[in-house]
Amino acid sequence: MTDLAGASIIVLGATGGLGREFARQLADAGARLTLTGRSMLALDDLDIPGAALIPADLTDAGEAEKVVAAAITAHGRLDGVIVASGAVAFGPLAETADATLEGLWAINVLAPLRVLRAATPALAASAADGGSPFVVSISGVVAETPTAGIGAYSAVKAAQAAAHQVAARELRRSGIRVMDARPGHTETDLSRHPLAGERPAFPVGYAPAAVVSRILDGVRAGEKDLPSSAFQGLPTASI
């Protein structure tokens, strides 16, 4: 079992729909948080007492190291990283511009891997001190089932899932658990602010609070992977 009370945890994308829920639920669980996002105003609006607020664009080199250092400075250690950041784009693959492809890759794959790399020594130190350090990646159902109309997004999320699944095997001996979660469509603003294209007519998605609760239950229970089937039966959002 992993106890979240007192754990020092970084939440990437803390101002997004899932990120806000992670921040709130982790704060309620007694975690010590380092919250990142591009806007300091949006971070302030989260109103999480005691959290270290670090505005950062993690697609820029050096920002990952800054965030990890800030977490250690604020809380003395690092026990977990949750990747709740991301970006989506819609449209046929053959019509997807280079700028969109590069943006999707930088936000969904490169940035989380930079943070994982920067965080690994501190997470390994947590394990050596008797902790249960973890990294949570949220690649989503498209990593399992690539979908027409969001092909570029499906491709980068599959890459995100693959990278973190490899990291899970490589970091296991260091005592670091890396868990990839692949929930189905969840009702956040992500799909309403795409890098390109227009949001199609999706069925109503899962309630963000329910998805986050399920992922944190998995963290507590020591689960190593959360496929899309692990989220079946969760309540949908009220919209």
Residues labelled catalytic: 153
Pairing state between β 8-12 and 225-226: unpaired
CA dihedral 112→113→116→118, nearest 10 degrees, is -110
Instruction: Match 């604020």 to its residue by tokens.
Output: 74
Nearest to 116 by CA among 129, 135, 97: 135
Nearest to 189 by CA among 20, 10, 55: 20
| DSSP state letter for 204 | P
Residue 83 to residue 113: CA distance in whole angstroms? 10
Instruction: Return phi, psi of residue 9, to 5°.
Output: -130, 135
